[in-house]
Amino acid sequence: MNRWLFRTTVSVGLFLVSAFVGLSFMAGGPKDALEMVRFALPHMHVGTLKAGDPAPDVRLVALDGKTRFRLHERTSRRPLVLIFGSFT
Amino acid sequence: MQIYSDYKDHADFLTIYIREAHPTDEWRMKANEKDKDDVCYVQPKTLEQRIVIANDFTRRFKFPLPFGVDEMNNAANDAYAAWPERLYIIDENGRISYKGGNGPFKYDPKEVRAWLAQRYGDVKHAGTAQANKS
């Protein structure tokens, strides 16, 4: 039993270390890997929208910081390409 | 921006600024701190802070596309599962016609170009062709 427990613990430990090393390599370093897990993963979603679904209407703010407009105000005339992103 | 130049006579474009991907107080990116590309911001806590960064972005790149900013409740981001970056095309009937993958690895503007080319033909203005050569 002790032998089984030892092997399981070592296997799980090796798996976790390998996963962390892989993640560190992908993210750029151990600190980046930890920050990725903490700050990025909670915000990354596949989402439920799929082709054919009605596009959700949302309210947005113009660059003047005051004017509000709705996404649907920009649709219906022609196809609308949406580009989501940030500066960093 | 090249796709916008090529197809703006056929389709509308809207850039939506959402929560920052690599702010200095979260998952900081060393690449953002190099002199030439210095892009260091903390995650905005107010809409005013988001507006400032969005304006910095459009000014720095002389960004010509129509622009909208997600409100602080992140409604657009949540509705479209957009973070950190994602592309969509909505058709004339208000339905999702194309949903791109999550950035950065599955973010592929070529798919948007292909969608537009299939409908409107392969459009490449002089500037685009030159940029593609270099």
- pLDDT tens per residue, range A29-77: 777 777 777 777 777 788 889 999 999 999 999 999 999 999 999 887 8
Residue B97 sits in a domain whose CATH number is 3.40.30.10
Residue A75 phi, psi dihedral angles, 5° rounding: -105, 175
Whats the size of chain A, residue-wise? Answer: 88
- The residue behind tokens 């299939």 is B118
CB distance B68 to A69 below 8 Å: yes
Average pLDDT of the residues of chain B = 87
Eight-class DSSP state of B97: E
Instruction: Check if the interface score ipTM surpasses 0.90.
Output: no
Q: Is residue B3 part of a domain?
A: no
For B130, the 3-state DSSP assignment is helix
- pLDDT value at position A29? 79
Can you give the pLDDT at residue B35? 56
Residue type present at position B41: Y
Q: Is B116 among the domain residues? A: no
- Interface subset of B 19-78, CB within 8 angstroms of A: 19-23, 26-30, 32, 39-41, 47-48, 50-51, 53-58, 65-71, 75-77
d(CA B92, CA A78): 5
Give the number of domains in chain B: 1
Q: What range defines the domain where residue B18 resides?
A: 13-109
Domain assignments of chain A as residue spans, ordered by start: 2-74
- Per-residue pLDDT of B15-48, as tens digits, reads 999 998 888 877 777 666 665 667 788 899 999 9
